[in-house]
Amino acid sequence: MKLISTRIITADVPRLVAFYEQVTGCAAVWGNDLFAEIPTPAATLAIGSDRTVPLFGAGCAEAAANRSAIVEFLVADVDAEFARLRDGLSDVVTAPRDMPWGNRALLFRDPDGNLVNLFTPVTGAAREKFGV
């Protein structure tokens, strides 16, 4: 089994796609006006319209209602990414700081309120874990 992508359901696909293109620096690949993917070297972030939810089962997903998942991106320098993105982030939860598990992390919310974590491994163990 391979994890291929994580999909976020939204009521505003173009807005969320533009946000994640800015965060990742990767261009979206549009399937149609209801669905796009942001391919990164390690995984794909899919963004789908709330209008697609009935295809899977009415009420099975709800846009802008995530309170448990965090979308995480490994970056070379989290402080540089924060400087680059700061003006476009409306909800910074935690400015870059060192975490007890060896990463330096920045936590913010996307326009739908989903948590996003950019992190850089800073300890030897964390760098070894992620191969950096």
Q: What is the pLDDT of residues 67-111, one digit of tens each?
A: 999 999 999 999 999 999 999 999 999 999 999 999 999 999 999
- Distance (Å, whole) CA 84 – CA 102: 23
14: which residues sit within 8 A by CB, 6+ positions away?
none
Which has the closest alpha carbon to 88: 22, 4, 2?
22
1: which residues sit within 8 A by CB, 6+ positions away?
none
Q: pLDDT over 70 for what percent of the chain?
A: 100
Domain 66-132 CATH assignment equals 3.10.180.10: yes
pLDDT number for residue 8: 98
Query: What top-level class would CATH report for the domain 1-51?
Result: alpha beta
Q: Is 73:117 a contact under the CB 8 Å cutoff?
A: yes
pTM of the model: 0.95
pLDDT number for residue 85: 98
pLDDT number for residue 57: 95
In the predicted model, what is the mean pLDDT of residues 114-120?
A: 98
Domain boundaries, the chain: 1-51, 66-132
In the predicted model, what is the mean pLDDT of residues 43-57?
A: 96
